[in-house]
Structure 1
C-alpha cells in the first residue's frame, strides 16, 4: 500500500489541477493521496469529483505558522472544513497572500527586476498566490534558471532581499484549531535546512506535550542522518512519523510517491480523526 500525505495543486502553488493531481497519483501507483494546499481547502471538491477507482483521497491543508522567529508548516488532516473558528483563520492566512506577494513584487522592482503584479497574478490564476508564483515569474524573465534558484538570500528565501513576512499562526493555536475541528496535526519537514532556520527540537517537544500527533520525517529536504534523528525524537515523544513527497508539480523535482507513509501510521491517523473521513474513489 503506497501512501503520500503531502501534495499541492493549483488551488495553492502546485502546477497540477486537483483533477490532474489525483489522476497523476493513480498513474504513479498510489493507493492514498492527501491534498494539502497552503491555507485552503479550495481544491478538495474538484479532487473528489475526479477521484479514480482504487485511489483514496485524504483531505487536508498545510498551515503557515511561526515559532521563536522560525517558520513552521503544520499539516492538518481530516478536519471539518466548515468548523467556524478554523475556517476563519484559514481565510485570514489565505487573504494575506495577495498583499504579501505584491510586496515581494515591489521589492523586486526596487532591485531592478522588471516584474509586474499582473504577471504574478496570471501565473497564480485561481490559486492562493505564493512565493513559487513569484519565483516562476523570475524564471520567465530569465532572472534565475529554475524556481529553486529563486529561493536564495539573493531573492526569495526567508532571509532574502525580496522576502516579505506574512500572517502566520502560532503553532499552539493552530494545534488547538485543528483539534477543535476534529483533525490530526503533523509538523511538515521540520528540519528542512535548505529552507532556512529549522524548527527547534524544543518546540517539537512542547508541541508534543500540547497534543501534536506527528512529524513528517521522510521528505526530500531531510538527509539520512536527519531522518534518523527525527525518527528517534518521535519515538521519545510518542509521535507518529510520516513520509511524503511534498509534490508541487513542475515547481519541484520531486515526484508523487517519492516518499511514503507506513500503512499502520496512516491507519492511526484515520482512527484519530473525527472531523472527516478519507474519500475512496469509485470502486476503491
Structure 2
C-alpha cells in the first residue's frame, strides 16, 4: 500500500489542478493521497469529483505558522472544513497573501527586478498567491534558474532582501484549532534547514505535549542522518512518523510517492480523526 500525505495543487502553489493531481496519483500507483494546499481547502471538491477508482483521498491543508520568529508548517488532516474557528484562521492567513506578495514585488522593483503584480497574479491563477509564484516570476525573467534558487537570502528566503512577512498562526494555537475541528496535526518537514531557520527539538517536545500527533520525517529536504535523528525523536516523544513527497507539480523536482507513510501510521491517523474521513474513489469525472 503506497500512501503520500503531502501534495499541492493549483488551489495554492502547485501546477496541477486538483483533478489532474488525483489522476496522476493513481497513475503513479498510489493507493492513498492527501491534498494539503496552503491554508485552503478550495481544491477538495474538484479532487473528490475526479477521484479515480482505487485511490483514496485524505482531505487536509498545510497551515502557515511561526514560532519565535521561525516559519514552520503544520499539516492538518481530516478536520471539519466548516468548523468556524479554524476556518476563520485559515481565511486570515490566506487574505494576507496578496498584500504580502505585492510587498515582495515592491522590494524586487527597488532591487531593479521588473516583476509586476499582473505577472505574479497570472502565474498564481486561481490559487492562493505565495512566494513560489513570485519565485516563478523570477525564473520567467531569467533572474534565477529555478524556483529553489529564488529561496536564498539574496531574494525570497526568510530575512532575504525581498522577503516580506505575512500573518502566520502560533503553532500551539494551530494544533488546538486542528484538534478542536476533529483533525490530526503533523509538523511538516521540521528539519528542512535549506528553507531557513528551524525550531529546536525542545519546541517539538512542547508541541507534542500540547497535542501534536506526528512529524513528517521522510521528506526530500531531510538527508538520511536527519531522518534517523527525527525518527528517534519521534520515538522518544511517542509521535507518529509520516513520509510524503510534498509534490508541487512542475514547480519542484519531487515526484508523487517519492516518500511514503507506513500503512499502520495511516490507519492510526484515520482512527484519531473525527472531523472528516478518507474518501475512496468511485471512478471520477473524465
Scaled by the length of structure 2, what TM-score is found? 0.98
Looking at structure 2, the residues matched to 195 and 221 of structure 1 have their Cα atoms a distance apart, in angstroms, of: 9
CA deviations on 1:177-224 (whole Å, 9 max, x unpaired) are: 000100000000000000001121111000000111000000000000
Match of residue 125 from structure 2: 125
CA deviations on 1:106-138 (whole Å, 9 max, x unpaired) are: 000000001100110011011000011001101
Are the counterparts in 1 of residues 50 and 283 from structure 2 also a CA contact under 8 Å?
Answer: no
Match of residue 159 from structure 2: 159
Looking at structure 1, the residues matched to 255 and 64 of structure 2 have their Cα atoms a distance apart, in angstroms, of: 23
Looking at structure 2, the residues matched to 133 and 71 of structure 1 have their Cα atoms a distance apart, in angstroms, of: 18
Measured after TM superposition, the shift of residue 68 of structure 1 is: 1.6
Looking at structure 2, the residues matched to 66 and 227 of structure 1 have their Cα atoms a distance apart, in angstroms, of: 22
Match of residue 212 from structure 1: 212
Are the counterparts in 1 of residues 51 and 283 from structure 2 also a CA contact under 8 Å?
Answer: no
Q: CA RMSD in A?
A: 0.9
Match of residue 68 from structure 1: 68
Measured after TM superposition, the shift of residue 283 of structure 1 is: 6.6
Looking at structure 1, the residues matched to 255 and 283 of structure 2 have their Cα atoms a distance apart, in angstroms, of: 25
Aligned length in residues: 284
Scaled by the length of structure 1, what TM-score is found? 0.99
1:1-284 aligned at under 5 Å gives the runs: 1-282=1-282
Query: Runs of 5+ in structure 1 lacking a partner?
Result: none
Measured after TM superposition, the shift of residue 69 of structure 1 is: 1.3
Looking at structure 2, the residues matched to 44 and 203 of structure 1 have their Cα atoms a distance apart, in angstroms, of: 31
SS class of match (1:135): helix
Looking at structure 2, the residues matched to 121 and 5 of structure 1 have their Cα atoms a distance apart, in angstroms, of: 28
Looking at structure 2, the residues matched to 125 and 12 of structure 1 have their Cα atoms a distance apart, in angstroms, of: 9
Looking at structure 2, the residues matched to 169 and 74 of structure 1 have their Cα atoms a distance apart, in angstroms, of: 10
